Structure 1
Amino acid sequence: MDVTGEPHGTELVARERSGHTALLEGGFLYVWGGYVAVGDDEVFLPSDEIWLYDTQSALWQTHRMEGEIPPPMSGTCGSSLNGHMYIFGGCDDHGHTNQIYYVNLLDGKYTWRKVTNSKGLSPTPRDKLSCWVHDDRLIYFGGYGHKRLGEINDSKSFIVDEASWVEEVFWGWNNEVHVFDSRTNTWSEPPTQGILPAPRAAHASATLGNKGYICGGRVVETRRCDIHCLDLESWTWTEVIPTSTIPIGRSWHTLTAVSDSTLFLFGGLSVNCEPLSDGWTFNIQTKEWKELEHKHKNKPRLWHTACLGKDSDVIVFGGSQDYILLVDKGHCNDALVFQTQPYSLQRLCEDCIGRNARMLQTQLSLLPSKLMQIIQKRISFFRIAKRKSGKRTG
């Protein structure tokens, strides 16, 4: 096994990792970057390759990348905009960065471009931040990074990590909002109003319409599960007060918009530094949390990624199953599928045929060719799932 991938029989599988970027475009999950523990060392994974996971067939492929390739890093913030993957910030072998790169995911060339001619003042170096996408703009919030004394404008927007102060460089958490307009390559920092969330990092975020939501994260010495909403047009913050029992505080979790009114939370690291495997939905209209029963209760994850797939499925990839700051040996490379909404009759039929392909093999040849292509992918998906669970394939 090498650091780029490992063969399982004749199949290629992406290397396990944490702190990576993953986006879903056209039925494929694109995975880039992150790091893994090799022996006693933390190794950043190659930045000149990208992995594609077919969410319908569960098959992997990999492609080399060209152009202005970013350094290998983790903790970067990845976003999808008009078929392009943008990454900003992160930590590499030289420390934290505030550079922004992008790559076209749809032309098959995978050529990186570095944004070098941007206007306006870019954010200071940071990682473990989040991003909302709205109106061709990338809107970044929070994170952990460093500033010099002259860059600290407001103690309410930047909390110094007293344990990490070095000479005139101050490390800490922020609650800043920075906007990158992809049409003009311009940075701006709009003034916000309302009830601002506390500075934080390793939180989770999701976009619903013209609203950006954040949930939880590391706030100095504690971890929370509070929810805040930012109107991405008026730049007004609102704290969302739940009407039900709330999940325990956490960081390094994910938040995914699965409908026009529902957010899905999964995993993370608890206040007591325990890896979590619980899943919750939050209704933004009723402000109610509900725990979601799922089949991955034995698979805790933190610093993983989560993307919205077909039929409101959430695809979770990678992350760690241990508290990485103490153990750092439990990186994962499996893709977990969470069903958050009832499936359509067509989806139920496709999955039924895929699960029972051997029993139905004499009838499969009667299917129309287009439908057959779909069914072949579902057969592959369930074949791989059965093999991983130790069952006989059908």
Structure 2
Amino acid sequence: MESAFERHCLELVASERSGHTAVVQENLLYVWGGYMSIADDEVFLPSDEIWVYDLEGGIWKVFHMTGEVPPSMSGTCGCSLNGHMYIFGGCDDNGQTNQLYGVDLTDGKYAWRKIIHRYGSAPSPRDKLSCWVYSGRIIYFGGYGHKLLTDIDSRNRSFIVDETSWVEDVFWGWNNEVHAFDPMQTSWSEPQTQGRAPAPRAAHASATLGSRGYICGGRVMETRTSDIHCLDLETWTWSEILPCSTSPVGRSWHTLTAVSDNSLFLFGGLSVDCKPMSDGWLLDVDTKKWRELEHPYKNKPRLWHTACPGKDSDVIVFGGSCDYILLVDTGHCNDALVFQIQPYPLFRICEDYIAKNVRTSEMLRDQLPLLPPKLLETVQRRISFYRPSKKQTKTQ
């Protein structure tokens, strides 16, 4: 029988948002930050709360966060490493930042810690950047931010000035810098890369496959691209992948997710002509071929959303905008879209079949109590996921 607490949880749904951070840890989706539109205003979401979505049970919970709470922001770069979520950069009420924060997701306390590095120099303030996690380090790439005129080397094309944005000796622009942070040593470093680096950009997408970091598209000055570049995280050598088949159109504010040892999944974004997109593509990095993926969310365009890898090669897309986000009162979203990339194992097929049909099948209901306790608990969580609920249906 369903408890009052469980019924309350079923009514909870994370707020609509774009430009947020999301990570998956042990079948739980953690969502933090971002912003939403209220009337004519863009409002940052509270920074002292974290929303947690049970990917097996379909239930949202919200937790209060303590400690050195960061300011409310959008456009931060978030990732998970060794059970911790890290956020770097982003844009708050005072503009772009270069602060780094971490929170332990495993102890249930959700206490923020502002990380002060002991060695090296932090990157300049920026947002809309991306990162790779490899060999215990977080490696950041690109973004849009500001630098002092004295810090801009005109001979080095790693920072392109935005001619429309400058104040006295402070200039905004795009960069293609690579910075690495080691949480164990609390140190920053700037690896010297080889090969031809991608053009400076922001609002691009990235993913890690083995010892390689990939980036795709993004905004390069006034254009949106679809190019793909790879950085070998052992040798720090750049290379460009030139697709040998039909490829996605240029875009920004999209996502790229590793779904196997050799394939990446691209979803959504904002096109060159400023149209929100809902197309999904798979790239085989070995054959360099793109294949458009059929999926049930063609009517749900998304940009500035998040995409996280789940179990059985699922990709969980949360939030984002279904409209051009530079418009006032844009359509932010709060649904979790689960993309099935690979065929499911037989156990999951059976589990989902029972969960979907137990209410209409007397035989399944009679057999359910005969399952071993652990299996019964798992199946009951899936039944909860598929339980009809006015608010819960919006998150499926």
For normalisation by structure 1, the TM-score amounts to 0.95
Residue 389 of structure 1, CA deviation: 6.0
Q: Which residue of 2 aligns with 1:70?
A: 70
Cα distance in structure 1, aligned partners of 2:389 and 2:257: 24
CA contact (8 A) 1:67 1:111 kept: yes
| Aligned 1:1-394 pairs, distance under 5 A | 11-153=11-153, 154-358=155-359, 359=361, 360-384=364-388
CA contact (8 A) 1:85 1:105 kept: yes
Cα distance in structure 1, aligned partners of 2:244 and 2:354: 42
Q: Which residue of 2 aligns with 1:3?
A: none
Name the SS of the counterpart of 1:107 in structure 2.
coil
Residue 117 of structure 1, CA deviation: 3.8
CA contact (8 A) 2:117 2:188 kept: no
1:95-154 deviation digits (Å, cap 9, x = unpaired): 110000000000101111111243211100000000000111110000000011111124
Kindly report the root-mean-square deviation, in angstroms, between the aligned alpha carbons of the 2 structures. 1.6
The sequence identity of aligned pairs, in percent, is: 69
Cα distance in structure 2, aligned partners of 1:32 and 1:87: 10
1:166-192 deviation digits (Å, cap 9, x = unpaired): 211111000000011111111111111
Residue 381 of structure 1, CA deviation: 1.5
Counterpart residue identity of residue 102, structure 1: G
Change (3 A) 1:64 1:259: same
Name the SS of the counterpart of 2:147 in structure 1.
strand
Cα distance in structure 2, aligned partners of 1:119 and 1:384: 53
1:304-329 deviation digits (Å, cap 9, x = unpaired): 00000010000000000000102442
CA contact (8 A) 2:17 2:36 kept: yes
Change (3 A) 1:170 1:191: same
Name the SS of the counterpart of 1:364 in structure 2.
helix
Change (3 A) 1:121 1:388: closer
Name the SS of the counterpart of 2:103 in structure 1.
strand
Cα distance in structure 2, aligned partners of 1:310 and 1:16: 24
CA contact (8 A) 2:9 2:59 kept: no
Cα distance in structure 1, aligned partners of 2:140 and 2:292: 28
Counterpart residue identity of residue 122, structure 1: A
Counterpart residue identity of residue 372, structure 1: L
CA contact (8 A) 1:322 1:328 kept: no
Q: Which residue of 2 aligns with 1:4?
A: none
The higher-RCO structure (CA 8 Å, 6+ apart) is: 2
Q: Once structures 1 and 2 are overlaid, which stretch shifts more, 322-331 or 276-285? A: 322-331
Name the SS of the counterpart of 2:71 in structure 1.
coil
Change (3 A) 1:388 1:59: closer
Q: How many residues align?
A: 384
Counterpart residue identity of residue 92, structure 2: D
Task: Give 5+ residue unaligned stretches, structure 2.
Answer: 1-6
CA contact (8 A) 2:48 2:69 kept: yes
Cα distance in structure 2, aligned partners of 1:204 and 1:283: 16
Residue 383 of structure 1, CA deviation: 2.1
Cα distance in structure 2, aligned partners of 1:328 and 1:254: 23
Cα distance in structure 1, aligned partners of 2:393 and 2:275: 25
Change (3 A) 1:33 1:384: farther
Residue 269 of structure 1, CA deviation: 0.3
